[in-house]
């Protein structure tokens, strides 16, 4: 192992440290007391009765997805030295921000330059990624180490090639649970928020994209990991279209209520579909849904079909394969689907006409020119924030900046009313935004 792989990292360690390594810091991986085991990686305590191994050692089950730590191990780190070659012009992106995007980008840059953490509250499709480019470029000229983290793997996978194209001369790495790329020391890291548990005082700038999303939102372990991965002098930049109340109370906020093409966010189209949940429980689908899908397929219109729960995927898929006489292809997607990345990529390449999905695709993925159908939009799983995010999947391209968001429901829900009102509010605000 090379010494630089420990810069700003918590590396599980057994044995002796190479004699030529300098500034090495070691700490116990786990601190064991009579009642609990405290993990210095995930900063969580566990009951000793639940964590003892047959050999008498203890382990941490709360971060075991990052590799098992036991009480016979240490965590090795070397303080971040920022050994990067500064580039005067790291940004190779040749695009141009709109007037309002440029104003917001300047606000973000100014806040970061002043060492002030900042919230960018931007409607879905506003171009949040591009707005971060000037700030990241400036940080790189300062020799800063930067991380862009998101709770969702799909978001990270989509962001990585976009940042690669925008900063061609800058080394960067993509880190997530199933990433084929090995970790290497570089100036820009794009990762899931779980991967931040591997870092300590590493980053000068931490950008948290979709910061309100599961599993990061209200997760103390991940919030602590994000804070610890940042240097004491570091700055956080939060990006989201649907901030929670805690984020909305931030002192430093930029608003961007207009999409990059200037068109409004598609409003929810509420369509009553009585007994949709009873149909699913009987392994059937509502006739209204079948008619709607047939219309989309006949028109060659690509779309996402959201269902409330994983068990609903197989019901809808099975019925469609029996009742839908077409050569069109589709697939089902859920969070733990091992082929999720492949299926999403097929949708991007237009190799499938539609995806049947849970809320895992509510955010972070872009499929130009699609419509959306939400079956059971009144189900409690579809919160107001989720509904707004789903609506944001539609109208993402300037060639088709509009589209339909069909909400099939049995009754009005508070979340539907709130989401409809929020979209209307954002569209009014965006119409008067210059």
Residue ranges of the domains in the chain? 3-77, 99-256, 269-431
Tens-place pLDDT, residues 110-135: 999 999 999 999 999 999 999 999 99
Percentage of the chain lying above the pLDDT 90 cut: 89
**Average pLDDT score over residue span 134-154:** 96
pLDDT of 200 strictly over 70: yes
**Average pLDDT score over residue span 286-296:** 98
pLDDT of 328 strictly over 80: yes
Label residue 86 by pLDDT band (50, 70, 90): confident
- One DSSP character per residue, 174-219 reads EE-TT-SSPP---SEEEEEGGGGGGBSS-EEEEEEETTTSTTTTT-
Domain 99-256: CATH class, spelled out: alpha beta
Give the Å distances, CA to CA, from 368 to 133, 348, 359, 396, 427. Answer: 22, 8, 19, 6, 20
Residue 215: cis peptide before it, omega within 30 degrees of 0: yes
Q: CATH topology of 99-256 equal to that of 269-431?
A: yes
Query: Which CATH homologous superfamily contains domain 269-431?
Result: P-loop containing nucleotide triphosphate hydrolases (3.40.50.300)
pLDDT, position 434: 62
CA–CA separation, 411 and 182 (whole Å): 49
3-state DSSP call for residue 320?
Answer: helix
Tens-place pLDDT, residues 259-273: 989 899 999 999 999
- Maximum distance among all alpha carbons in the chain? 72
**Average pLDDT score over residue span 386-398:** 95
């Amino acid at each position: 192992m090379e010494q630089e792989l420990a810069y700003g990292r918590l590396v599980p360690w057994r044995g002796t440290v190479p004699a030529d390594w300098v500034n090495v810091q070691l700490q116990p991986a786990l601190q064991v007391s009579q009642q609990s085991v405290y993990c210095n990686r995930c900063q969580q305590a566990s009951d000793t009765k639940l964590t003892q191994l047959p050999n008498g050692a203890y382990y941490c089950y709360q971060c075991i997805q990052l590799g098992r730590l036991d009480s016979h191990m240490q965590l090795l780190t070397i303080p971040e030295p920022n050994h990067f070659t500064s580039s005067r012009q790291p940004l190779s992106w040749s695009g141009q921000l709109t007037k309002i995007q440029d104003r917001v980008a300047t606000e973000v840059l100014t806040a970061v330059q002043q060492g002030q953490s900042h919230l960018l509250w931007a409607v879905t499709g506003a171009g949040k990624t591009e707005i971060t480019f000037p700030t990241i470029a400036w940080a790189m000229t300062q020799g800063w180490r930067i991380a862009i983290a998101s709770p969702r793997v799909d978001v990270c996978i989509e962001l990585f090639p976009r940042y690669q194209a925008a900063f061609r001369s800058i080394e960067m790495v993509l880190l997530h649970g199933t990433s084929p790329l090995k970790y290497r020391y570089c100036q820009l890291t794009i990762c899931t928020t779980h991967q931040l548990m591997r870092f300590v005082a590493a980053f000068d700038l931490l950008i948290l994209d979709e910061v309100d999303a599961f599993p990061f939102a209200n997760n103390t372990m991940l919030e602590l990991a994000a804070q610890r991965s940042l240097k004491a002098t570091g700055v956080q930049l939060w990006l989201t279209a649907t901030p929670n109340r805690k984020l909305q109370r931030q002192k430093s906020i930029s608003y961007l209520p207009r999409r990059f093409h200037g068109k409004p966010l598609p409003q929810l189209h509420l369509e009553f579909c009585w007994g949709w949940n009873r149909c699913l429980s009987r392994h059937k689908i509502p006739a209204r849904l079948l008619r709607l899908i047939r219309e989309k397929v006949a028109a060659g219109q690509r779309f996402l079909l959201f269902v409330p729960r994983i068990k609903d995927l197989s019901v809808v898929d099975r019925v469609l394969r029996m009742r839908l006489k077409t050569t069109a292809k589709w697939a089902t997607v859920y969070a733990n689907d091992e082929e999720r990345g492949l299926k999403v990529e097929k949708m991007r390449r237009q190799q499938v006409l539609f995806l049947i999905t849970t809320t895992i695709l509510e955010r972070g993925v872009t499929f130009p020119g699609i419509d959306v159908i939400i079956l059971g939009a009144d189900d409690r799983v579809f919160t107001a924030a989720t509904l707004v995010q789903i609506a944001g999947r539609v109208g993402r391209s300037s060639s088709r900046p509009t589209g339909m968001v069909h909400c099939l429901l049995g009754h009005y829900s508070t979340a539907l009313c709130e989401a409809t009102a929020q979209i209307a509010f954002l569209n009014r605000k965006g119409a008067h935004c210059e």
